[in-house]
Structure 1
Amino acid sequence: MTGTGQGTVRAPGRTVTGWSGDADYFAFPEHSEYRPELVVDVLRGRRAGVVFRGMVAREVCAELAARFWDSPHRERRSTEAPSYHLGAYHYHKTTEHYLDESARVAAALDQVLDLPGDPLTAFYGGLAEQLAREGVEVRPARHHGRTASRGLLRSWHGDGRYALDPHEDRSQCTEPGQADFEIQRVTGHEVCALNICLENGDGGRLLVWNIQPDDACKRRMGLHHTGSPYPTRTLDGIECRWIDVRPGDVYVFNGSHVHAVEPNTDPGSRRTSLAGIFGFIDDATVVSWT
């Protein structure tokens, strides 16, 4: 159980069971400037999430989005979570497979991100400076001298009720094929999701439910190594936050909570973001991956 310690554990039934935080915990305060100390609150389980409105300049967002869509290295993902992407997903792969993909796309990703005001560098740099005061190192996840992808550019194009179905990020960190990868040690801490919005039309909101599914629930639903998808009916009656997302916004939240992405209501618009995952693997180390 994580969070403030003042939440509740739901009884078994037809709904998702697990831990829910209190009102102070399940809040998503908004700020107009980057404050990495608030990201640390999410990392340490004191708050569910935080939003930094307009942290990235609109012209930087527009340039990154244009470079992403123009990149010949952009790929299409048609399984699990349909999307266009540039970068590597660790989901449901062996450690070697993920690191091979990370190495293969590194140069193309660096080329897209190589501009003044790179928001990924600004975010992790600020977080590293903040945590250095506590003797904590922030770095990409690594394995035998190889490193995880530094970021993931993606645009969801699912056309159902959700562009990205309800899921949580903790279960995928238990993938048996990655048992030798240090990111599996993050499951004893908070698994944090970083999203930097580059473009979005009408809709495209983030949904976060106030529930961190327990192991019994995950096994009952057959999601203990994937965390996806949680049927919508199993989330009925659970508190949910809908967070509007605009270009330039940076939002960080505890990915152990079930969350989803709403599709755009304008067929001609796109929801594109720069993303990553990060968390403590021990008291002195935070690692990031994708």
Structure 2
Amino acid sequence: MNQKASTRQETQPLSGYRGDAGYFRFEERTEFDPELVLDVLRGRRLGVIFRGVIPAKAQRAITDRFWASPARRHRPGEPSHYVGSYHWNKSVETYLAESEAVRVDVENVLDVPDSPWASFRDGVSTALARHGATLRVARMHGTSAGPALIRAWTGAGAFSLAPHDDAAQCKDPRQAGFEIQRTLEHEVCAVNMCVEHEQGGRLVIWNIRPDDPSRDELGLRDTGFGYPADVLAGFDEIRLDIRQGDVYVFNGAHVHAVDATEGNRTNVSCLIGFTDDRTVVTWT
């Protein structure tokens, strides 16, 4: 694993939580271990990466279905293609309606032999059951969130996906009452399954979970998207090589990004977190 942590001690431009050295690291395995996923969900470790655990045939099948899907869209103003729905910067009504409209299309992309999506959910569900908890897709008023978001980032520049955090977006007042907002009392984590990868595209993650005053100063309170690189310069960082076939889970409240990518970097993704001691939900 190629991890590089900086050690600069400049005055910090953001305030918030920073983990110690024992926490701010990625655990690496070559076999899937859902108990390590639970450690991330409980805030005991920053992240875990499972190397090469997606079978090659499943990688190719999902990738082919994704690019051929009639539901594939290009996200306006951003260098990405996607199948699915995303809750970022929307009302909960809009998000749930979009999720319902493309649910079958998402399931069609993921419904392949040895699907990593099914294997991940089955493994985490079994591990949670041993602790008296359950895993399900988030819902509101009888309508479920998206089961997954399949997307390819192809952006040019220093970051193909700009620095952002995944916790701020869960504070959006237009989503009041949506149960994902209760995950903020625990940990908001990201799940990614890499089914297509050419060159570059490392995960970059900084040792800072910004607080609301910092987000307010930058105008990012309810979106968490678009942290300027200069405000992150003084924080320890990890740049993690991502390879085709990897599955990785990390605490998405930390500012993170994807660095320069050449070619396609296609992931099956979702967000995940506890809403209470016995319930874990996913959404997109």
The alignment's TM-score, normalised by the length of structure 1, stands at 0.92
Structure 1 runs (4+) greater than 6 angstroms displaced: none
Aligned-partner Cα distance in 2 for 1:153–1:37? 25
Kindly report which structure 2 residues correspond to 1:20-39, keeping only aligned pairs within 5 A, or say none: 20-39=18-37
Aligned length: 276
* Corresponding residue for residue 72 of structure 2: 74
Per-residue deviation, 1:14 = 6.1
Per-residue deviation, 1:214 = 1.3
Instruction: Indicate the structure whose relative CO is greater, using CA pairs within 8 Å and at least 6 residues apart.
Output: 2
Give the residue type in structure 2 aligned to 1:53: R
Counterpart check, 1:118 vs 2:112: no
Aligned-partner Cα distance in 2 for 1:242–1:180? 36
Per-residue deviation, 1:263 = 2.3
Give the residue type in structure 1 aligned to 2:213: A
User: CA distance change for structure 1 residues 243 and 101 in 2, over 3 Å: closer, same or farther?
Assistant: same
* Corresponding residue for residue 56 of structure 1: 54
* Corresponding residue for residue 179 of structure 2: 182
* Corresponding residue for residue 161 of structure 2: 164
What is the CA RMSD across the aligned residues, in angstroms?
1.4
Give the match's secondary structure for 1:271: strand
Give the match's secondary structure for 1:279: strand
Give the match's secondary structure for 1:276: strand
Aligned-partner Cα distance in 2 for 1:115–1:226? 34
Counterpart check, 1:102 vs 2:99: yes
* Corresponding residue for residue 279 of structure 1: 273
- Map Cα deviations across residues 14-62 of structure 1 (whole Å, 9 max, x no partner): 6222111111101101100000000011000000000000110122111
* Corresponding residue for residue 193 of structure 1: 190
Q: Which residues of structure 2 form unaligned runs of 5+?
A: 1-8
* Corresponding residue for residue 253 of structure 1: 250
Aligned-partner Cα distance in 1 for 2:14–2:64? 39
Q: Which residues of structure 1 form unaligned runs of 5+?
A: 1-9
Aligned-partner Cα distance in 2 for 1:91–1:160? 23
Q: Select between 244-253 and 17-26 the one with higher mean Cα deviation.
A: 17-26
Per-residue deviation, 1:78 = 2.1
* Corresponding residue for residue 128 of structure 1: 125
* Corresponding residue for residue 206 of structure 1: 203
Aligned-partner Cα distance in 2 for 1:240–1:253? 14
Give the match's secondary structure for 1:278: strand
Per-residue deviation, 1:275 = 0.3
Give the residue type in structure 1 aligned to 2:36: L
- Map Cα deviations across residues 245-280 of structure 1 (whole Å, 9 max, x no partner): 11110000000000000122x4xx211010000101
Give the match's secondary structure for 1:272: strand
Aligned-partner Cα distance in 2 for 1:122–1:14? 41
* Identical aligned residues as a percent: 48
Per-residue deviation, 1:72 = 1.4
Per-residue deviation, 1:160 = 2.6
